[in-house]
Amino acid sequence: MDCRNEGCTQPQDEDIMDIPLDDPAANKAAAKIQAGFRGHMTRKKMKDDKPREEKQREQK
C-alpha cells in the first residue's frame, strides 16, 4: 500500500521499532551518531559565541 496516495492505517513509526535495542552494533552506531551531533552543536555554539568574546576584548 502506498501511503502517499491512500490513507495509512498503520503509523509510519513501525519501522523504527524493528531495531533491537540490545544489539551492540546498533548501540555503537547510535553512540557515533550522537557524538557527531553533539560535536556539531558544540562547534555551532562556539562559532556563535566567538564574536561576543572578540567584542568584549575590544571594549577592555
Listed by start position, the domains of the chain span 30-60
CB 10 within 8 A of CB 1: no
pTM to 2 decimal places: 0.51
pLDDT at position 48, please?
Answer: 85
DSSP conformation class of 46:
H
**Does residue 1 register a pLDDT over 50?**
no
Name the nearest CA neighbour of 16 among 2, 4, 30, 3.
Answer: 30
CA distance 41 to 2: 36
Type and span of the H or E element at 38: helix 24-59
> For residue range 2-58, what is the model confidence (pLDDT) as tens digits?
566 555 665 555 666 677 788 999 999 999 999 999 999 999 999 888 776 666 666
Cell numbers for 43, please give them. 562547534
